[in-house]
Structure 1
């Protein structure tokens, strides 16, 4: 199983990041991700599987999730991910019929110095986050990306992510960068390093500034200033995400896929910021 994960740079860097933010443990069947201080953080409390599950696996997976990750009232969701082989359509209708949300993400990789020249927005100023105000603005933008920005669970998940990312930065694992226009935060991303691999995290553009070259400018500048001699840069994005083509135009190529399913009570939002 470990070999399959290592061959998927998206899952491999997910686990490296999570090992710094929570706990990661292994057995013969699963990799167990837990975030004890944030039990409502769906994508930080999950089982990583060896392969795509079948409908016949569901009951056993739910039982194992309860034993290895947790049960209500602390853990009210069930979340599973796996390295997805091939490029075919993924049939998870049986899980969806039982209340699960299913998604497939593309793992995009750019080799060193492979980013292509692109038009940027001269009005965008790119710099490191350097104040509590920057992070407060990040919280507001991140909440707006959630299915229910007013939900208290959404607020707690975003607050946890802010604290976890700031701890990673304090440990000098990486940094958080912002795109500013006239002093206002309009986009941001994290970039964290593990040896010769750089992993982008939570790339977001404020909704009222999309299609203005903000993300292109931010990515281009951050790679130029921070990526250094890293051999590979990794982005993971949902295959329905509007920015996938832009990443490819910049020189990122789809190298792998990640499948996932998550069940959560109707009152709890599946966190969309990864």
Structure 2
């Protein structure tokens, strides 16, 4: 399966770094992260073409067969210009995700004031990152979210300590209030989750950590481009554009969360 969008291409490359298996089944790719079954976007099916509405039940059955213990359903679809509305009849949300890329970055439009922007250095930094990310619990299951974030932090820390990537935080009086990471994948470097504590939003902190991570990556030997992915209709994409990132491809995500 040919994957042209840098968003999905770098997604899969990072997943493979973390031990995820990617199996080509002909009609789809099966992406499986056995070590973290709650990782929705580490356990999904990647389809080349958009199913017709009449085909959606068979794809949901296929997902269940591949992941019999999963409470979620997740699909990525390469074909963007098609009717994807049929998924909503099965309780799924459909989003158009846009990959943005840049060979150089511009300074954030809002300077971050009274904050320390720096790489993660200590175990406490990683523990604070776990707590920050797990506070955004959309499923109403805080224990499961915390367990998931512990596993994610373990994988991210291994990548940072191996030199494959680096994670940056915004700290106010020692408290981590915003974070992101970036992983080097040959000529591309891919951003990881960007998160700002709700009490510290609209202060330029997300822009500051994204800029710092990107500048670090672009200074690494052989890196030509940084890549990030955003919901096309979400607020973050405006920030990324203001830093000099431009659209470089898109794909569809289909998700049904537990409950």
TM-score, scaled to structure 2: 0.90
- For residues 197-216 of structure 1, the aligned pairs below 5 Å read 197-216=188-207
Distance in 2 of aligned mates of 1:117 and 1:156: 33
Distance in 2 of aligned mates of 1:149 and 1:208: 20
Distance in 1 of aligned mates of 2:85 and 2:180: 33
Unaligned runs of 5+ in 1: 267-274
Displacement of 1:102 in angstroms is 2.0
Pick the aligned partner of 2:112 from 118, 121, 127.
Answer: 121
Displacement of 1:97 in angstroms is 1.6
Quick check: 1:99 aligned with 2:94?
no
Displacement of 1:203 in angstroms is 0.9
Distance in 2 of aligned mates of 1:235 and 1:167: 21
Pick the aligned partner of 1:133 from 124, 130, 141.
Answer: 124
Unaligned runs of 5+ in 2: none
**Alignment RMSD, CA only?**
2.0
Which residue in the other structure is 1:272 paired with?
Answer: none
SS at match of 1:160: helix
Which residue in the other structure is 1:196 paired with?
Answer: 187
* Shift in alpha-carbon separation, 1:92–1:139, aligned structure 2, 3 A: same
Which residue in the other structure is 1:162 paired with?
Answer: 153
SS at match of 2:60: helix
* Shift in alpha-carbon separation, 1:63–1:246, aligned structure 2, 3 A: same
Distance in 2 of aligned mates of 1:254 and 1:52: 22
Write out per-residue CA displacement over residues 198-253 of structure 1, whole angstroms, 9 at most, x where no aligned residue: 10010111111111111122222233334215211101112232221111111111
Q: After TM superposition, what 4+ stretches of structure 1 lie above 6 angstroms from structure 2?
A: none
Pick the aligned partner of 1:260 from 214, 236, 253.
Answer: 253
Pick the aligned partner of 1:27 from 25, 41, 49.
Answer: 25
TM-score, scaled to structure 1: 0.86
For the 8 Å contact 1:143–1:149, the answer to whether it is kept is no
The alignment of Structure 1 onto Structure 2 pairs a total of residues equal to 256
For the 8 Å contact 1:149–1:155, the answer to whether it is kept is no
Distance in 2 of aligned mates of 1:85 and 1:254: 14
Quick check: 1:108 aligned with 2:107?
no
* Shift in alpha-carbon separation, 1:172–1:122, aligned structure 2, 3 A: same
- For residues 66-81 of structure 1, the aligned pairs below 5 Å read 66-67=64-65, 69-71=66-68, 74-81=69-76
Deviation larger for 119-128 or 14-23: 119-128
SS at match of 2:223: coil
Which residue in the other structure is 1:172 paired with?
Answer: 163
Displacement of 1:150 in angstroms is 4.6
For the 8 Å contact 1:124–1:217, the answer to whether it is kept is no
Displacement of 1:119 in angstroms is 4.1
